[in-house]
């Protein structure tokens, strides 16, 4: 799927999708839901390092 197609499907501009892919910005929560729907996946799969249950709980963002 092209950036333009993803952008159109989630209601954003192509440069926003490009910024998400490059890690310059993160999608807003509503955009995450739309993005997961468009890509036929779970939000958790978009951020696997945040949802990895095997990581050390002492290094999780919530422990900070």
Q: Whole-model pTM? A: 0.70
**Per-residue model confidence as pLDDT tens digits over 4-61:** 999 999 999 999 999 999 989 989 989 999 999 999 999 888 887 766 655 555 555 5
30-39 LR contacts (CB < 8 Å, sep 24+): 34/9, 34/10, 35/6, 35/10, 38/1, 38/6, 38/9, 38/10, 39/1, 39/6
Q: Which domain holds residue 14?
A: 3-63
Which pLDDT score is estimated for 7? 96
Maximum pairwise Cα distance, the chain? 40
| CATH code: domain of residue 32 | 1.10.260.40
What whole-number distance in Å separates Cα of residue 15 and Cα of residue 62? 31
Which pLDDT score is estimated for 64? 47
Count the domains in the chain: 1
- In the three-class reduction of DSSP (H, G, I as helix; E, B as strand; rest coil), residue 6 is classed as helix
């Amino acid at each position: 799927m092209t950036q333009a197609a993803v952008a159109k499907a989630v209601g954003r501009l192509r440069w926003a999708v490009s910024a998400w892919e490059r890690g310059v910005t993160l999608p807003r929560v509503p955009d995450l839901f739309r993005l997961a729907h468009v890509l036929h996946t779970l939000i958790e799969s978009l951020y696997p390092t945040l949802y990895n249950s095997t990581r050390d709980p002492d290094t999780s963002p919530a422990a900070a």
